[in-house]
Amino acid sequence: MSTQQSIAQFISTGLLDGGREIGIDDEVVLDGTIDSLGVTRLIDYLEKEFGVAIAPHDVTIENFRSATTMAALVESRQTAESV
């Protein structure tokens, strides 16, 4: 499973208790699907699952817009850390 798909699946099953299918480009922060506690849990998930550190100044609407943008954030952190 790709990073995007893993994140979308976590949102669907981990945050929404499987209540809804989430597509990788669904705008989950703009439509209010993810509340502030959800944001906290997402950060925790991304850090543990992908072994990256997400700094508070990276927790932005642009980065958390969808599973696709979150995956891009994770990949940019992975690249940054391996350099």
In the bound complex, what is the minimum distance in angstroms from residue 24's beta carbon to other proteins? 19
- List 2, 40, 76, 79, residue binding other proteins (CB under 8 A): 40
CB within 8 Å of 35: residues ≥ 6 apart: none
| In contact, 71 and 46? CB cutoff 8 Å | no
The two tokens of residue 55 are: 């700094």
The verdict on 1 binding other proteins (CB under 8 A) reads no
- List 20, 25, 30, 79, residue binding other proteins (CB under 8 A): 30
Provide the phi-psi class of 28: left if phi over 0, else alpha when psi is between -120 and 50, else beta.
Answer: alpha
The verdict on 19 binding other proteins (CB under 8 A) reads no
The verdict on 48 binding other proteins (CB under 8 A) reads no
End-to-end CA distance of the chain: 25
Binding footprint of other proteins on the chain (CB under 8 A): 29-30, 32, 34-37, 39-41, 43-44, 55-62, 64
